[in-house]
Amino acid sequence: MGTNSEKPHYVLGVVSADGERLLHKVDLKFEEGKFINDIRVTTRYNIIMDYPLRFGISRTLLQKPFIENDMNGKSRIGVMPLFGDADSIIWFDVENHCSYHLFNCFEDENEVVVRGCRILGSIIPSDRYRADKSKWYGRAFLQPDKDSEDFDPSLDGILFSRPYEWRLNLESGTTNEGYITSEKVAMDFPVINDKFIGIRNKYGYAQVVDSLATSKTGNILTVVIFEKSSSSQLFLLSFLLHNPCSWHV
């Protein structure tokens, strides 16, 4: 996939298993440039993230920042057949966000499950915050204190990243979504065993972000263990924390 400030704004391609041939290429007909970082596939679908992190030279002509996230904008997730086109995408409206990194996506009966690390704001601040960028980052990355007198929902904790799940029902067109870890630990840069890309996986791995443990021991890798409860909702069974610098292969 590739995004561009000029048309076509979003192009998706499918390559052969050996990486030698482009089998399919399609313009998704986005109406404006969106800075979208990640894409995933399942056995039958391409999973397309769309959130209002807009960019483009034309914005500067309108006296707008070159790149800016709209905190009051709309986000959606598209489910498109592997060799489909823009008209074949089923779009699901989701709560607004600006999430860069995904764990995995897979099909679960009539649902498509999307798991990633969700944030509310863009890690790339617009020109509006250039004057006091250090203060902006300091408040954006910290765990938000909603009881604080100076709490600002457009700033505090908007980059506090946590594992999240979207369940997209292909039959009803509805979405069930929510965080799958507590508010105490921030995580990002998720990965999984690449043998499970596009199919159900039990484990995910993520970097602990800006936590007390990180400040004491260095880089921390979290092993996220997913399991279904009786209510069919995903939850975090445990954290396994390791210092990657101490591993021996």
Q: Where are the domains of the chain?
A: 2-246
Residue 97 labeled ligand binder: no
216-232 pLDDT, tens digit each = 444 556 666 676 554 44
pLDDT at 72: 87
| Distance in angstroms (rounded) separating the CA atoms of residues 25 and 37 | 18
Burial level of 114, CB count in 10 A (0-12/13-18/19+)? buried
36-69 pLDDT, tens digit each = 989 999 999 999 999 999 888 888 888 888 888 8
Q: For residue 213, which amino acid is it?
A: A
Using alpha carbons, select from 10, 4, 37 the residue that is nearest to residue 190: 37
Cis peptide bond upstream of 8, omega within 30: yes
Q: What is the pLDDT along the chain (249 residues), one digit of tens a residue?
A: 888 888 999 999 999 989 899 999 999 999 999 999 899 999 999 999 999 998 888 888 888 888 888 888 999 999 999 999 999 999 999 999 998 899 999 999 999 999 999 999 888 766 555 556 677 777 888 888 888 888 888 888 888 898 999 999 999 999 999 998 877 788 889 999 999 999 999 888 888 865 444 444 445 566 666 765 544 444 444 444 444 433 333
Structure tokens at 100: 């860069």
Question: Which region, left, alpha or beta, applies to residue 194 given φ > 0 means left and ψ of -120 to 50 means alpha?
Answer: alpha
pLDDT at 171: 95
37 in Cβ contact with 100 (< 8 Å): yes
Q: In what order do the strands lie in the sheet with 162-169?
A: 101-108, 111-118, 162-169, 175-179
pLDDT at 246: 36
In DSSP notation, 98-167 reads ---EEEEEEEETTEEEEEEEE-SS-SS--GGGGGGHHHHHHHHHSPP-TTSTT--TTTTTTT--EEEEEE
Structure tokens at 66: 């070159």
Structure tokens at 42: 């399942």
110 in Cβ contact with 169 (< 8 Å): yes
Could you say which DSSP state residue 89 is in?
P
| Distance in angstroms (rounded) separating the CA atoms of residues 71 and 52 | 8
52-85: b (≥16 Cβ within 10 Å) or e: bbbbbeebeeeeebbbbbebeeebbbbbbeeebe
